Structure formats: structure tokens, C-alpha cells
Structure 1
């Protein structure tokens, strides 16, 4: 996700978007602030967190970023949700699905569950929500994630009606799903926010206000949002209508919007915060403290390079010069200092394994490593081809604490190593930054992506021609074919499909379609009173359903 990801944290979730998206997106941090106490809030089962950015959207069909996905994961629930070890566990689904012999038809029974207004959750709520996400009038960036559904791509392109989508309600509690091809990770895919249900009557009543305020959303998850003061804070309360409410321990989750790391640490020290993401200057100070932990994520950060409108970035040598022209260890070891590692790739390490049991990175190798001499050569070729001795580029980034430091570092490195280059920094709030990328109104942009499901495809198909999250104008017909084959004809040949994905990533990196920067880890400091937070490698960054706070 954009994110996937590029992201709720204090080591600064720089996705994507995707935040984490995967969500795509990138910069986010979350920790909350509430009552004061030496223990972090003072009340049992009240969790206090902060986020560096406000929620862009609470409409599951429109959400694209980590802040939205993390919040939606707490207040909504699909057919399945992620449990321990990122395994899909039953949500609205009741029992195992019936799967046809060819793997293309799934029949799922729904449990007795209610919306927060007391109305039952029905199969039609899924049919409505999925048709809405794929309806071209909705303009959902994540519609493509549903393309495994029969006729989904045609519906999204306006070539078929939403009613022709391969999903139907057999009765109020029975949902039938038809797929174009069998999908080995389909149950995990169904945990993703775009597959959440929506109550048709309620959404229709709210019209264009749906998802914009706490009281314009209907909830079916462990919590409901009871307060949302934009750019200030939002509050979640335990949902008494939730089917599994007896196993939800938290009564309240307070999330304060705080962009400054020092403020977050002060709140933690004063007992007003239960979890803080530590930026570089605080890691060494707190690494021996009880509750300190580092978590290596499957989120990758990179520079988007807009080839659609910028003549410099249309030049492959210029892109390669930028990708190889800065020292990544300066970011990971000094600016972040939290376990993040340099990335010379797109698909992260320690994410998924191939049919031979090897990690994707072990098979695929590395590309675009830092090489100042090679970068200078590529830059000289680019300037000669462009007929320019001086080049100006605007670098877009988030306006949070850590993002500012990374962007300033990149400016210094690139201007030093690429003669004649001037980098102008443009910092924007989270939502505005995502909007600029979506409209491709930028030149270069620091972005992150977190995976949406456990497969390399969640990263690789981001850069297909005209893809919803391509957002850079990159196009390579060979990549497009490899991705299409991996989604269709190669599904029954695991090794051939794996080889195609490895080759597709190789081609993109050889083209310098983007400039990899780092794979994120995060350093957290959590009060000992907090237990049961589940951290995920794909989809939402974490789950609070099983969390408790005992002061």
C-alpha cells in the first residue's frame, strides 16, 4: 500500500503510501495522547497514541494510505482479518469457504453480526461496496487490487456494468465470489480495506459526506470512532455491537496528531502517551529501557521520478545518476538509526519466499547501489543529451520531522555529487502530498510503499503502464507482459511465475524507474502496561483488537 505505506509512528512512517499500502503513501506516525499518569494514561484499557498526520479518508473504497488503513482496521472488518503471524482469521465470515475444484468460485457464509447502528451485516453490503470501488465514477485508486474478481477490470474500465462483477448475494448471509483465475493468497487479500463492506442505505443517505467525519461512517469492527477533530485528534471507543466484543479489551483509543518527535517523547515521559516511535536521536538514549523494540518492516522507500512531464527525468541516464548518487547508509545509520537498511531493490527482504524456499531478495539480487563515480558518468551523459549544464529539480516530501531531515540530506548529497544540479525542496502535509502525486503534479518525490498482500506482485504491479499507483509515467512493455502473465497464464506454474516477477523487478531497476532509498524498520518504546499489539508485514501496520492496557 502507498502504503502501503508509505504508513502511524514515530520513527516516522515516512507509506505510502502505502503508505503501506500498502498501502502507499508513506509518512505517518502514530501514538496517542490522553489522560496524564506516570503509567501512561492512568486508566485500565485506555490506550494513548499519536499520529504525525491526520486521516485522509475513512471511506474504505477511497483510502490509499497507512494512516487511513490502520484506523479502518480498528473500526471495520472484512470477511477475514489478520491475526497472529499474519494469518487470515475469520471476521464477518463464518467457517471455512467452499471453494470450487478449479479454485475460481468461493462461497462464504456470513456470521450474525451488526453494524454500529444495530442493523445486520449482509452479503449485499459486500456486493455494494465492491461494486462501488470498481465503478469508474468512484475513481478508487485501489480498484485494481480487486482485478482478480471476474470482470473487475472491465467494470473498472467502464466496459461492463457493476452488476456484471463476479460477486453476488445468494441470500442475506451467503456471498458467492467468482475469480478470473485461482489466487493462492486470496483469503489474505480479502483482509484488505478495499474489500470491507459498506451499508448501501447509509452510504446513500450520507452522499458526498460519507467518510469525512466520525458521525458519517457506519462501523462493524472492534471499535467505533466517536470523535474526530481534524488535524488535532481522533478517539475510538469499543463497539458494543461488534460480534466478538467480549474479546476486545480496550475501551478507548486516543490518537493525537503530533508532527514533532521531541513532543512525542515528552508526552511519553510525562505519562500521557503509551507508545512512541523513536527517531534517531532518541534510539541510543532509550534502547536499554524496558519496552524498547525494533521491528523490521516490509515497507520500502524510494524516490518517485516523474517521467511524464519532466524532460530531465525522461532521460534514463539522469534517473540512474540520481538513484546512484547519494549515500543510503547516511539515512539508515544516522538519520533513522532504528534498524532500517539501505534498499537497492523494490521487493523487500524477509517478506516472501519462492518455491525453492529462498527469500525473494536472495534470488533477485541488488541494483542501483550507491556509486558516486558511476552516478557522475551517467549525469554527464544526461546533461550532454539534454544540452544543459545546470538542472533544477523540485523534490516533494512530507512536512513531518524525519521526512524533512531525509529530504534535506538528499538535497545535500545530490547537489554535491551531481555537478550543476540544484534541488528545491517542497514540503507538504500528508494528504496534500498524496494528492500532488496522484495528479502527477510534481517532479521527484520521496515516497514509501507497504505491501497489501503476501506476494511480490503487490510491489511490482505498481509500475505497470498507466497503473493507478504508477504516478510517474514509467512504461516498459516487457514489464507489462511479465506482470500480466504472472497474474494469468503462469498461476499454475509457481516457478515460472516467480521467475517472471524476478525478471520484471530487474527490468524496472535497470530502467531506474524509481530510485530505491531504504527498507524501513521502526524503533518503538511501549509502556509495560500495554500488551497484545499485533504488527503486520502487509495490509494495516498493526491490529488493536487483541490489545489490553493494565495500569
Structure 2
């Protein structure tokens, strides 16, 4: 949760969504736990009635689900709801504290001494929602389909290339998909061969790209696969029963799920609402159980007993399209980028747009995410803040850019989301940048989340508000974003030394934790020194949640924001 988990671009609003993995879900959510039934000698009549009532979670999202196809998931919204209806080899446990068994029994997983061969033993009681067994062949088919160049998956090459044996060659069309380093030894034994030892590979086992798919069902759907509810098959805690695009999504407990006894919710209703005032009204009238807050609504409700504030490992920034056909000459100029990056007040942005405890970011690897393997210091400790708010420095860089590029006035477009928060974002930057950079004019575009993903991927933008949440518990989930021609770069930035460091982190330093960690710190400094992006803030999420919602008190550190498998309603 891109984190697109999370992306993963992130939609702002009631649910500012993480691009990616990256990607994570939305700002509007909910959860639970069982009541004490007292003395065991009491009669059944005295058992709380709520145990027999349906437990339905009612929440909001500010975006349509871009895709329910695991091979195509690249944003936090897709990742959140795919985590709800699918299950991979592993999944994040309660609170996201650790990986636990999914379709594979984690305790039985075997890893070769050199770290190159992973053998997963699957449970034999896992079923698809049509009753078919979930087998190792489903994983093989899904992974091969994802890396197949004809599938055009965004995440598969990003995650698999250079990690799983032959993935890069398969994705380039030089080898058949059958050559990918994944095989079914039998129906319930999956063997994965890696190209090199990868410290964070275990995290992949819970990510949507690596979910299984039922080949017979997928191929029977053809091009319609995953477009509507009837074109989907599920193996996770819930099944999707209604998908009214741009309006609502409905989920029900999957009785075929191998661990259905541990799933407390009987269903989840998700309404798509983009306006915060409307959302808060729904919460106040008891129609929803959780709602994201921003701006004046935080001031109004922060003393409420139902107010919650949750830190996130999600960072937002401005992306400069240095490949832009019309404005590339400007964005390619370091002083032009530096002027923009240092000309806006980051704390004022938080105060005006969010009004919460989010923190200004002068970095792109978040604070409080990973620590040095030897000293235990936070990733931020070595270099701290690099691109700070500094109007004088911004004006100096702007004057240099004008001289170097020969302009007095310039107009560039700026894109953000179409929620009320997205509008505040574009208006804030227009005011700040035009005020501090003489001769600059911003033309504003507020686009729906899915359209913004498509526009950014196609490179049809000049300046865009974007962000990322980690796909796995490793700083490389952020540092790998800006390699030259990388799938998440999407802005034409490139630096040979940066690329060299990232390559070493994923190669010869893979099993040298100290050197690897410090190489990632060096890489981040290079990109920020060159103003590859303009960091804005590290988000903290403010919301209201009904006290009967349990299991959503914290956000997962990567992947989907929440695992609804562990949520409960206790009225």
C-alpha cells in the first residue's frame, strides 16, 4: 500500500488511499471482541442476545475499487478489499504485528540454507467459494499469469524481477511462463526458487500479487474476470456479494473459508462518499460505524471519547514529470524543482488541509518504520531532514531557474484528488507556490482516484500530489521507487549512483544487514539532494469510531490497512 498498502498513489479524503502496496485502504473504517457471559451455571436465557444478531460493519470509502484482479492491484483501495476476499500463503496477524499462517502453514515452511529455495506446505481444508480445493497449482497459475507480459501487471515485475528465479526473463518475453521459479511438487506443496537471497521475501507471501487464482474459473471468465461480482471467486474470510461501482460494496462472511470459525463479522457494507460533511452526518445518525476526519471536523470532535488518532507509515509528496512533453524542460531543471520543493509551508499544509497530528516530511522513508540492525536507531537518524521549507532558499533557486531556462512566467498543471480534501490540497499549493515563486501559475485538476492513477502511469501530468505506503517491512519498499525507468518512477528521474546503490541492496548486500541499511540511507540522500520529489508530510489518521467496533485500533504497518478477519462488533 502504493501502502499504490497501502502503490503504492493514495486517494485523499475520507479515505486517502495508498498507491501500492503499496499500498493500504481508506480513512473510514471499523472493529470488536466477545462479552463475558458470567458464571457457566447461568441459563441460556441469560446469555447476551447480541451473540445471535448479525454483526455487520458499516463503513465508507472515498473511491471506487480500481480492480479486484490480484495481478492488477497497485493501489491501497484494491489491496484493502482484495485482502478481504482472498488469502495468500500467509496473512498479517491481528494488529499487523506478525505474519501468520494463511493457505500455507507457516510453521511448516522450509527454507534452504542458502535462502534460495522456499517450500510451502498448504493446508488441505482450504476451499474456493465454489467448493473447489485451493491447491499449489492455483499459486503456480496465478504467479505465472501475473508475470506474463501479456497480463501487463504493474506490480508483478516490480516485486518478482530479480527476486524469483527467471522472473525478469519471463516478463521480458525471453522465457516461457513455465520457466518461472515456482512449481507444485504436489497438490499441497509449493516450491519457490529465488534468484538471490531476499531478506523481505517472506512478506511477499501475504501480498495480493501472490494470491492464488483458480485457473479454470479465471479462463472461463475471459476478459470479464474480476469486472463484476459474478466474475469473481473467493478463498478469503469474506465474499463480495454486491459491487455497485462508485456507490457501494457489500461483503458477507465466507462460510467456505477454512478458518470461518475465527471470523466474527457476518458482513461489511461500504458506501462511497467523497464529502467529509456528508460522511460525518452519516456517522452522527448511526448509519456508519467509522468516519475519517480532517480540518474543522478534527477541532470539533477531538475531545470526543470516540475520537481516534493513528500514526501511519505513509508519506506524501509532489512528483515532477521530467518526461513531460510540454514542460519537461522546466521539470528537468534541478533549481526549478528545488524552488517548488522548498516554497510551501508543510506545517501550514497540515493545519489547513488536515488539522491533525500529521508531521511535515523532509524525507521519503517514513519515521518510525524501520531501524538500524546494529544500533537500533531510526532510519531518519543519520541524515534527518533534507528538503525543508525555506522561502529564501526557494526564491534563490527560482531566480537561478529563470536565468538557466530563460523565462519570466511559466504555467504548469497540478493534479490531486476529486474529494473535498483533494480540492483543499490543490488550492493550498496554488496559493503557496504562486505567492512565493514570482511568475508561476498553477492550473488545477481534481481527478477521481482511478483516473489519477491512469494519468500518472501514462505520464500525462506535470506536477501531481502522490504518496506511498510500504508493501513489506523494509525500507527498500520506498527506496526502490526512484530507480531509472522503474515501474513506480513514472517521472523520468534517473541517477546512476542511486541505481547502483539500490542494485547492491537487492544483490550483494542482501545478507549484510548493516551495509544494506546504510546503503539505503545513502540512496535516499542522493534522491533528495537532487530533488527527485518534493516531500510534503507523513500522515496520521484522525477518525471517529463507535466503541463497539473492535480490532481496528491500529493500522497494519504495510499491505492492507486492516484485516477484517479480526474485526468484531460488540454491542
The answer to whether the superposition gives a TM-score over 0.5 is yes
Question: 1:126: which partner in 2?
Answer: 139
Q: Does 1:191 align with 2:206?
A: yes
Aligned counterparts, 1:35-114, within 5 A: 44-84=54-94, 85-94=96-105, 95-112=107-124, 113-114=126-127
Aligned counterparts, 1:16-35, within 5 A: 16-18=18-20, 21-23=21-23, 28-31=26-29
Between the aligned partners of 2:53 and 2:437, the Cα distance in structure 1 is 55
Between the aligned partners of 1:497 and 1:10, the Cα distance in structure 2 is 33
Between the aligned partners of 2:430 and 2:12, the Cα distance in structure 1 is 23
Cα pair distance change 1:7/1:241, threshold 3 Å: farther
Between structure 1 and structure 2, the one with the greater Rg is 2
Give how far 1:186 is off: 2.1
Give how far 1:289 is off: 1.7
Question: 1:146: which partner in 2?
Answer: 160
Give how far 1:139 is off: 1.1
Question: 2:438: which partner in 1?
Answer: 419
Question: 1:363: which partner in 2?
Answer: 382
Alpha carbons 2:314, 2:366 under 8 Å: kept? yes
Question: CA-to-partner distance for each residue in 1:327-385, whole Å, 9 max, x for gaps?
Answer: 00011233212221100000000001111211101123211100001101111111111
Alpha carbons 1:78, 1:190 under 8 Å: kept? yes
* Structure 1 runs not aligned, ≥5 long: 33-41
Between the aligned partners of 1:130 and 1:366, the Cα distance in structure 2 is 39
Question: 2:360: which partner in 1?
Answer: 342
Between the aligned partners of 1:7 and 1:305, the Cα distance in structure 2 is 14
Give how far 1:191 is off: 0.8
Question: 1:36: which partner in 2?
Answer: none
Between the aligned partners of 1:316 and 1:432, the Cα distance in structure 2 is 28
Between the aligned partners of 2:9 and 2:317, the Cα distance in structure 1 is 14
Give how far 1:543 is off: 1.1
Question: 2:569: which partner in 1?
Answer: 549
Question: 1:262: which partner in 2?
Answer: 277
Alpha carbons 2:312, 2:555 under 8 Å: kept? no
Between the aligned partners of 1:512 and 1:193, the Cα distance in structure 2 is 32
Question: 1:461: which partner in 2?
Answer: 480
Alpha carbons 1:9, 1:50 under 8 Å: kept? no
Alpha carbons 1:291, 1:526 under 8 Å: kept? yes
Alpha carbons 1:352, 1:455 under 8 Å: kept? yes
Question: 2:371: which partner in 1?
Answer: 353
Q: Does 1:317 align with 2:335?
A: yes
Alpha carbons 1:14, 1:448 under 8 Å: kept? no
Pick aligned residue for 2:303 from 268, 274, 288: 288
Question: So what's the TM-score if we normalise by structure 1?
Answer: 0.95
Aligned counterparts, 1:189-228, within 5 A: 189-228=204-243
Between the aligned partners of 1:124 and 1:165, the Cα distance in structure 2 is 13
Give how far 1:450 is off: 0.5
Aligned counterparts, 1:137-536, within 5 A: 137-143=150-156, 144-147=158-161, 148-309=163-324, 310-355=328-373, 356-533=375-552, 535-536=555-556
Partner-residue secondary structure (3-state), 1:180: coil
Between the aligned partners of 1:229 and 1:82, the Cα distance in structure 2 is 28
Between the aligned partners of 1:7 and 1:176, the Cα distance in structure 2 is 33
State the 4+ residue runs in structure 1 displaced beyond 4 angstroms: 6-11
Between the aligned partners of 2:201 and 2:258, the Cα distance in structure 1 is 23
Question: So what's the TM-score if we normalise by structure 2?
Answer: 0.92
* Structure 2 runs not aligned, ≥5 long: 31-51
Give how far 1:541 is off: 1.0
Between the aligned partners of 2:270 and 2:335, the Cα distance in structure 1 is 45
Between the aligned partners of 2:211 and 2:111, the Cα distance in structure 1 is 20
Alpha carbons 1:460, 1:505 under 8 Å: kept? yes
Partner-residue secondary structure (3-state), 1:168: strand
Give how far 1:407 is off: 1.5
Question: 1:38: which partner in 2?
Answer: none
Question: 1:35: which partner in 2?
Answer: none
Between the aligned partners of 2:215 and 2:383, the Cα distance in structure 1 is 45
Give how far 1:290 is off: 2.1
Partner-residue secondary structure (3-state), 1:311: helix
Partner-residue secondary structure (3-state), 2:252: strand
Between the aligned partners of 2:500 and 2:173, the Cα distance in structure 1 is 23
Between the aligned partners of 1:315 and 1:43, the Cα distance in structure 2 is 62
Alpha carbons 1:7, 1:29 under 8 Å: kept? no
Give how far 1:542 is off: 1.1
Cα pair distance change 1:43/1:322, threshold 3 Å: farther
Give how far 1:4 is off: 4.0
